[in-house]
């Protein structure tokens, strides 16, 4: 604490600066040599808090725009992850689309001038494997929709980053908003109503990715998982998106069978797609007792005929809980797009 006391308040401004300021104020109250008056301290404290709030607001504003990446994965020509940063998106977003906004219910006939990057351009540049029939768009809040590939190739459906010449604000679905040419194509209006207009798009999946699971330093593929004991549970899927309602069969392997025996003492974080995992929206921590005692599954297939789980259902890999877990695990949240088991010893 002694050296902190000598540091000017404003040099200590970090993410926790407000807290720092309060701590320093408290420290000085107890022991500063030239003790300022209570009133003076109160003025400084208020100034510091106001300036702090201003800096934080500016940081959030610019970093939200600057750090917003668009991640494209799945069955592209190279099967490699492509990340477009904000600057690249700006220079690619040259297509204008005049259309109504399906979410602007105040004036449903009002036409907006959206500027963005056509999904067809992305698909043509990155390519797609011959068996691909659909593309899944995912948002920062884990919302997802799946659109037919042919429709994306045929119509100017765009990833909009500006509306009427201005960046799209968060409450209008920005910074990246999936926009369909409703005004031009009644077919699209009928096929892709407002629920398809995804706000804050963060990830795009072309078709479905192959299974790739990181476990510590290991990288497992479907063939590796298929060597482990296979089990089937019949459950209601615990997240929205793409599944038939009611109970479905899920086939896969138990988390405990994937882990080496010596890692079974700690906790396991089940990590879904990273852009969706911010604020832990798409990750769950499992306690070792639960992993040992109940059926916690990574599902690789579903249904009577054991089909692979497509991206539209959160596949290829999904964390699932058997009903026997109900009594034991507190956090039973299912995780879609599972990519990693993080071992916390
Ligand atoms: N990222 C994101 N986009 C989204 C949604 C959402 O929850 N998250 N909801 C969809 C649905 S179901 C509708 S009807 C419209 C409007 O959603 P709202 O009523 O929640 O604003 O946005 C669509 N786009
Ligand atoms: Mo909706």
Do 74 and 62 share a structural domain?
Answer: no
Q: How confident is the model at residue 329 (pLDDT cuts 50, 70, 90)?
A: low
User: Which residues have CB less than 5 Å away from ligand 2 (the ion)?
Assistant: 195
Residue nearest to atom 10 of ligand 1 (CA): 195
Q: How far is the CA of 146 from the centre of ligand 2 (A)?
A: 15
Residues in the chain: 345
Atom number in ligand 1 closest to CA 141: 1
Between residues 31 and 271, which one has the greater pLDDT?
Answer: 271
CB 179 within 8 A of CB 157: yes
Do 86 and 148 share a structural domain?
Answer: yes
Atom number in ligand 1 closest to CA 139: 1
Is 2 domain-assigned? no
Pocket of ligand 1 (CB under 6 A): 103, 139, 141, 143, 194-195, 197-200
Instruction: Give pLDDT, residue 56.
Output: 58
Is 1 domain-assigned? no
Do 196 and 149 share a structural domain?
Answer: yes
Is 4 domain-assigned? no
Instruction: Give pLDDT, residue 262.
Output: 63
Is 3 domain-assigned? no
* Percent of the chain with pLDDT strictly greater than 90: 63
Instruction: Give pLDDT, residue 261.
Output: 65
Q: What is the pLDDT of residues 259-294, one digit of tens each?
A: 976 666 778 999 998 666 555 667 888 988 888 888
Mean residue pLDDT across the chain:
84
Instruction: Give pLDDT, residue 5.
Output: 36
Q: How far is the CA of 192 from the centre of ligand 2 (A)?
A: 12
Residue 4 in this model has a pLDDT that exceeds 80: no
Nearest-angstrom CA–CA distance, 206 and 79: 9
Do 272 and 308 share a structural domain?
Answer: yes
Q: How far is the CA of 25 from the centre of ligand 1 (A)?
A: 45
Q: How far is the CA of 125 from the centre of ligand 2 (A)?
A: 32
Do 49 and 26 share a structural domain?
Answer: yes
Cα angle, residue 282 at apex, residues 297 and 276 outer, rounded to 5°: 135
Pick from 149, 175, 206: which residue ends a domain?
A: 206
CB 203 within 8 A of CB 230: no
Residue nearest to atom 22 of ligand 1 (CA): 195
CATH number at residue 192: 3.90.420.10
Q: Name the domain count of the chain.
A: 3
136: number of Cβ within 10 Å: 26
Q: How far is the CA of 274 from the centre of ligand 2 (A)?
A: 25
pTM equals: 0.81
Residue nearest to atom 4 of ligand 1 (CA): 198
84: number of Cβ within 10 Å: 20
Q: How confident is the model at residue 10 (pLDDT cuts 50, 70, 90)?
A: very low
Place of tokens 């309602």: 245
Q: How far is the CA of 144 from the centre of ligand 1 (A)?
A: 10
Nearest-angstrom CA–CA distance, 284 and 271: 7
- Token representation of residue 157: 């459906």
CB 243 within 8 A of CB 112: no
Please enumerate in sequence order all residues whose Cβ is within 8 A of that of 187, keeping only pairs 6 or more positions apart, or say none.
none
Phi, psi of 191 (to 5 degrees): -75, -35
Atom number in ligand 1 closest to CA 102: 15
Domain residues for 321? 213-344
Do 235 and 201 share a structural domain?
Answer: no
Pick from 206, 239, 271: which residue ends a domain?
A: 206
- Token representation of residue 252: 């896969």
Pick from 177, 206, 235: which residue ends a domain?
A: 206
Do 307 and 201 share a structural domain?
Answer: no
Do 276 and 222 share a structural domain?
Answer: yes
């Amino acid at each position: 604490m002694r050296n902190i006391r000598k540091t000017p308040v404003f040099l200590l401004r970090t993410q926790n600066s407000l807290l720092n300021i309060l701590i320093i104020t408290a420290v000085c109250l107890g022991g500063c040599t030239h003790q300022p008056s209570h009133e003076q301290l109160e003025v400084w404290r208020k100034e510091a808090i106001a300036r702090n709030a201003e800096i934080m607001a500016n940081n959030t504003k610019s970093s939200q725009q600057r750090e917003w990446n668009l991640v494209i994965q799945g069955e592209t020509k190279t099967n490699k992850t492509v990340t477009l940063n904000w600057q690249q998106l700006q220079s690619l977003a040259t297509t204008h689309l005049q259309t109504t906004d399906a979410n602007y219910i105040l004036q449903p006939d009002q036409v907006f001038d959206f500027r963005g990057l056509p999904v067809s351009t992305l698909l043509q540049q990155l390519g797609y494997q011959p068996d691909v029939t659909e593309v899944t768009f995912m948002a920062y809040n884990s919302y997802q929709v799946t659109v037919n590939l042919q429709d994306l190739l045929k119509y100017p459906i765009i990833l909009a980053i500006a509306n009427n010449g201005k960046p799209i604000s968060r409450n209008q679905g920005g910074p990246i908003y999936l926009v369909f040419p409703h005004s031009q194509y009644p077919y699209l209006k009928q096929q892709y109503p407002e629920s398809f207009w995804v706000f804050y798009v963060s990830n795009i999946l072309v078709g479905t990715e192959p299974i790739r699971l990181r476990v510590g330093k290991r990288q497992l593929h479907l063939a590796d998982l298929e060597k482990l004991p296979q089990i089937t549970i019949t459950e209601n899927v615990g997240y929205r998106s793409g599944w038939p309602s009611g109970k479905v069969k899920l086939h896969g392997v138990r988390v405990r069978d994937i882990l080496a025996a010596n890692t079974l003492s700690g906790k396991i974080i089940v990590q879904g797609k990273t852009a969706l995992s911010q604020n832990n929206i798409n990750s769950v921590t499992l306690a070792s007792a639960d992993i040992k005692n109940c059926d916690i599954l990574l599902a690789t297939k579903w249904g009577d005929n054991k089909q692979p789980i497509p991206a539209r259902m959160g596949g290829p890999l999904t964390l699932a809980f058997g009903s026997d877990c109900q009594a034991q695990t507190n956090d039973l949240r299912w995780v879609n797009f599972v990519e990693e088991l993080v071992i916390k010893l």
